[in-house]
């Protein structure tokens, strides 16, 4: 595996071509829960009940119209994302996605690689656009990443998210054509 360590002393940056992506299976549920639980419990980026049970969290991430993926490098699970239609019927041509990077993989380029894979997968599935419905404005790293990949802020929901430390903050709607 070719890995660049520039800018990340002691931590290996992961390039898109270094990661493999595969569909989540039931065998992945323990590692998937290990990634989702701290994010959901923190309550800072997803409008999910902070006390969500494991089974409900896994069902949310993997069931219904969600197609969930695991990002791996050298058999280490580094992140997960799901891709789905944003709406049904006349809105089914617009994709939606959710992303979680494993805590130990933060700052290694995993989120960027997952976004690139999600955009490619969405195009291959014939989606015409991608929309993020509820990006918490305090999630500045995600906002910067999405904007760097062509997403525009097309809406602002004033004080729509009750952040556990900052109180009521805005949520953004972000969109880009594929």
Q: Is 6 part of any domain?
A: no
Task: Identify the residue with better confidence: 93 or 18.
Answer: 93
* Collapsed DSSP state (helix, strand, coil) of residue 59: helix
The total number of structural domains that make up the chain: 1
Q: Each residue of 145-157: pLDDT tens digit?
A: 999 999 999 999 9
Distance, CA of 4 to CA of 10 (rounded, Å): 11
Full domain range(s) for residue 71: 16-177
Q: Is 9 part of any domain?
A: no
Confirm if 71 and 19 have CB atoms less than 8 A apart. Answer: yes
User: What CATH number is attached to the domain comprising 73?
Assistant: 3.40.630.30
Nearest to residue 109, comparing CAs of 33, 23, 28, 3? Answer: 3
Residue 7 has pLDDT above 70, yes or no: no
Q: Is 7 part of any domain?
A: no
Q: pTM value?
A: 0.89
Q: Is 3 part of any domain?
A: no
């Amino acid at each position: 595996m070719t890995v660049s360590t520039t800018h990340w002393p002691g931590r290996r940056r992961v390039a898109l071509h270094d990661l493999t992506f595969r569909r989540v299976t039931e065998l992945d549920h323990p590692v998937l829960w290990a990634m989702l639980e701290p994010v959901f419990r923190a309550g800072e980026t997803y409008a999910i009940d902070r006390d969500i049970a494991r089974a409900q969290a896994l069902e949310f991430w993997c069931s219904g119209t969600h197609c969930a993926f695991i990002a791996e490098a050298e058999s280490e699970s580094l992140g997960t994302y799901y891709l789905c239609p944003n709406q049904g019927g006349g809105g089914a041509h617009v994709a939606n996605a959710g992303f979680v990077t494993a805590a130990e993989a933060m700052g290694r380029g995993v989120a960027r690689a997952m976004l690139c894979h999600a955009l490619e997968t969405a195009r291959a599935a014939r989606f015409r656009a991608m929309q993020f419905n509820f990006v918490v404005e305090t999630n500045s790293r995600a906002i910067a990443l999405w904007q760097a990949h062509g997403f525009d802020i097309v809406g602002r929901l004033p004080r729509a998210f009750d952040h556990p430390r900052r109180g009521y903050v805005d949520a953004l709607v972000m969109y880009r054509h594929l």
